[in-house]
């Protein structure tokens, strides 16, 4: 008897259930004609699509298109949500690729009797990073990246992207580093004309975020608008051949002995999100020799 009482208690409807059931019945009674119309419409369309090849084909095509658009939209949302992680992974993969390129190595040949594996040794290392701060509206602009001392980042190393030189690392903490941007009136970079090989000094004048000026190029060489400007490789900060921009306006300096060339930068500094720190493994050795030479 007790078991039947417990079962009755479990299935006994509450006032809320009864009220909801009454409301549902009222709704069905009130709109029964409309629901009947919908049911007949569904049956009619079902018969139409089942026994009419043209309409069935049109229905399938339309439903496929709608389904495709819905799933395409959903996928776009998913792609956007994972875009940051994808960019981070892609930057890491690119850094690994750059570390294996020939320009990251230098010749270690001593004699022709050496075995092939020892001819080249690693010269440059690349570390991918994310830009967490970037100023472009000042005279002395800086960037901050999310890699620091514990990632092997040192001061006086270069920051680049696939579209150009970005700046020079000045200070590093455990997890972050500050970078003097190329858009900084205090920075200058050794650059050259790719076609002729003549090199000079590249510097920003504090005016346009899209242009720098290349000076100290002798006037006896032929230069055309659109010539490519790259890093010269004459410093321990950037490898040779890193793209910078193209010549856009060619003028003579005040003493008329050198050109002063306006260079349009290929990298838009307003949209940088990821970059690479490039480090010369032999930088300290080379810098120590430069220091000794100054005291000779």
Domains of the chain listed by start with CATH number:
2-78 (no CATH), 126-294 (2.40.10.340)
Please list the alpha-helical segments (H only) found in the chain. 2-11, 15-30, 32-51, 53-81, 83-100, 283-294
Q: What is the pLDDT of residues 54-67, one digit of tens each?
A: 655 565 555 545 65
Q: pTM here?
A: 0.63
Worst-scoring range by mean pLDDT, 12-21, 80-89, 217-226? 80-89
> What's the DSSP call for residue 12?
P
**205: exposed, middle or buried (C-beta count within 10 Å: 0-12, 13-18, 19+)?**
exposed
* Distance of alpha carbon 11 from alpha carbon 166, whole angstroms: 73
The answer on pLDDT for 159 being more than 90 is: yes
CA angle (212 as vertex; 206, 213 as ends), nearest 5 = 105
The answer on pLDDT for 101 being more than 80 is: no
pLDDT at 37: 77
Residues 256-262 have a mean pLDDT of 89
Read off the pLDDT band of 141 (50, 70, 90).
very high
Residues 75-103 have a mean pLDDT of 58
Which CA distances in Å does 275 have to 35, 112, 167, 176? 62, 39, 10, 14
Q: What is the pLDDT of residues 160-210, one digit of tens each?
A: 998 999 999 999 999 999 999 999 999 999 999 999 999 999 999 999 999
Residue 42: CB atoms within 10 Å:
10
DSSP 203-268: E--SS-TTEEEEEEEETTS---TT-EEEE-S-SSSS-TT-EEEEEEEEEE-TTSSEEEEEEEESS-
pLDDT at 122: 75
């Amino acid at each position: 008897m007790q078991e039947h009482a417990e079962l009755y208690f479990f299935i006994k409807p509450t006032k809320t259930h009864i009220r909801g059931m009454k409301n549902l019945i009222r709704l069905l009674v009130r709109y029964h004609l409309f629901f009947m119309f919908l049911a007949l419409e569904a049956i009619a369309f079902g018969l139409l699509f089942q026994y009419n090849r043209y309409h069935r084909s049109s229905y399938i095509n339309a439903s496929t298109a709608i389904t495709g658009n819905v799933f395409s939209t959903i996928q776009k949302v998913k792609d956007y949500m994972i875009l940051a992680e994808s960019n981070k992974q892609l930057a890491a993969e690119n850094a690994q690729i750059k570390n294996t390129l020939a320009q990251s190595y230098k010749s270690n040949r001593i004699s022709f009797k050496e075995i092939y594996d020892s001819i080249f040794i690693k010269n440059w290392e690349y570390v991918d990073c994310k830009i967490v701060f970037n100023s472009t509206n000042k005279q002395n602009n800086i960037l901050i990246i999310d890699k620091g001392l514990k990632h092997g980042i040192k001061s006086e190393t270069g920051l680049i992207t696939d579209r150009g030189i970005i700046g020079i690392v000045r200070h590093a903490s455990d997890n972050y580093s500050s970078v003097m941007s190329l858009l900084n009136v205090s920075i200058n970079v050794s650059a050259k004309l790719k076609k002729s090989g003549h090199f000079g000094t590249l510097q920003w004048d504090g005016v346009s975020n899209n242009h720098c000026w290349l000076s100290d190029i002798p006037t006896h060489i032929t230069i055309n608008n659109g010539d490519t400007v790259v890093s010269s490789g004459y410093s321990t900060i950037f490898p040779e051949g890193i793209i910078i921009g193209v010549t856009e306006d060619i003028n003579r300096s005040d003493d008329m002995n050198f050109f002063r060339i306006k260079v349009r930068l290929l990298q838009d500094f307003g949209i940088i999100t990821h970059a690479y720190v490039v480090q010369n493994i032999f930088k300290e050795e080379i810098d120590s020799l430069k220091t000794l030479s100054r005291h000779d």
